[in-house]
Amino acid sequence: MSSSKHQSQDDSMPQTSPPLSTILPPLICGTATFNNQYNPDPYALPTTAIVHEALSLGVRAFDTSPYYGPAEDLLGAALNTSFVRDNFPRRDYFLLTKVGRISGDGFDYSASWVRHSVQRSLERLHTKYLDVVYCHDVEFVSPEEVLIAVMELRKIRDKSGLLRYVGISGYPVTTLCELAEMILEKTGEPLDAVMSYANYTLQNTRLASVALPRLEAAGVSVVPNASVLGMGLLRREGVPIGAHGDFHPSPKELRAAIQDASDWCDKQNIKDNRIEKVAIRWALENWMREGASVGSSGDPASGIPWQRENIERYGGAKLGVSVMGVSNTEELHETMMVWRSILDGLEGGEKTAIDSGRGTDERARSLQRQQDVNVLATGIRKVLGKWVDYTWASPDPGFVNKRSAPDVPAPLPTPAASPDGLPKQALTREGSHLKSVRQI
């Protein structure tokens, strides 16, 4: 890992680049929801309020992509405010973005496009450096193209310091493993991060059963788990419908099985029994433990106000990293209640709860909720039956990359300021006030 020559200032890159697993926060705010794939009008979302409130609640990492419509612009606009500049120095939060995917059927992993994409992300996010850059949805291009993009990103890292860590992301876990192994073999340097989505959920745990041993052996530092609801599949009301209509790749038979599982949950005499509530808690809690070997020891967002933390406070163990996306501040608060309840249930969680002001009884509540969720999760997976660990094809058979030339796309409209008004109420325990949780 190279070291940066830049001076350590608030808006420039820190002097050293330690292993990503020692500094990345284990909870990352995803911005795929800042996109018309998940929401009819992303400009109508309170994105500035979400980002500001996330920072105020201790979240210290944001994941985005040029492919997520206006997400980079919206995130950048929220960060480029006096509230953030005055309270959160750039060195105190992480920005993760991606290169390579341009559209649903367009990919460009060429060195020239990688350089263009990195520069564009820097401008959109109003930052002098990016903490992590992934090659986006690597299964859609050849291994040779992925290798070219990874090597170009590393060249940018080493020569200009415009980015710190390099990774890949995608859906099929076997492809991710093969590419991580190939990159280590060809370059002698392991990937810093491999992000998988929809592969550690109530419905599908192949990220742990299939990928984890191989990614560890390939020397990957961190494996974030994204989309704990399977791109919105694990919801009582079904998959999200955005401006592009029904985009979800799951077959109708799987959707029907999920609906049966949701109906079964509704009949159980257990509090907070909606399938999405169970799925979120189960995935966050279990990946926190099962993904710890490829996890991180950065700031855990435990709720101790305005204090930079790391996992050493909780005994030094790493925690599995999760990416959670929200569409409003209510969902953000719900997520943080769940996350902090899980932290309270860890060994030493009593002190965490007391120091954060949540009280002495939170560990007992957390362990009871863990027990309830495990009962419901066991029942859900029994109802799903043959659909447990089912995966859909990615890409579809016969896919053709329609990206023919490295055209520079037209700029997106400048996003208007999103609604402010940040709720300041303290989080006390895992809530049940939401009627609909739309996290992905």
pLDDT at 353: 81
Segment holding 168, helix H or strand E:
strand 163-170
**For the CA atoms of the chain, what is the radius of gyration?**
20
Q: Which residue has the tokens 């990345």?
A: 24
Specify the range with the lowest mean pLDDT, choosing from 36-45, 112-121, 167-176: 36-45
Q: Can you tell me the mean pLDDT for 105-134?
A: 98
- The answer to whether the CB of 146 falls within 8 A of the CB of 138 is yes
Q: Comparing 73 with 38, which gets the higher pLDDT? A: 73
Helix 362-384 and helix 329-344, axial crossing angle in degrees, nearest 10: 110
Could you give the CA distance from residue 109 to residue 204 in angstroms, rounded to a whole number?
29
Q: Can you tell me the mean pLDDT for 396-403?
A: 93
Q: What is the SS3 assignment for 114?
A: helix
pLDDT at 148: 98
pLDDT at 123 over 50: yes
Segment holding 353, helix H or strand E:
helix 349-355
| Reported confidence tier of residue 360, pLDDT bands at 50, 70, 90 | confident
| Reported confidence tier of residue 203, pLDDT bands at 50, 70, 90 | very high
Can you read off the two tokens belonging to residue 294?
Answer: 């490829």
Q: Express each pLDDT in 381-390 by its tens digit.
A: 999 999 999 9
- The answer to whether the CB of 111 falls within 8 A of the CB of 148 is yes
- The answer to whether the CB of 323 falls within 8 A of the CB of 227 is yes
| Reported confidence tier of residue 8, pLDDT bands at 50, 70, 90 | very low
pLDDT at 305: 58
pLDDT at 309: 53
pLDDT at 311: 46
pLDDT at 73: 98
pLDDT at 368: 96
Active site residues: 68
Supply the DSSP symbol for 403.
Answer: -
The string of DSSP letters for 279-325 reads HHHHHHHHHHHHTGGG-B-S----S-TT----GGGGTS--B--EEEE
- The answer to whether the CB of 76 falls within 8 A of the CB of 126 is yes
Distances (CA, A) of 23 to 60, 143, 319, 426: 11, 29, 11, 27
Q: Can you tell me the mean pLDDT for 11-15?
A: 45
Could you give the CA distance from residue 255 to residue 38 in angstroms, rounded to a whole number?
17
pLDDT at 308: 57
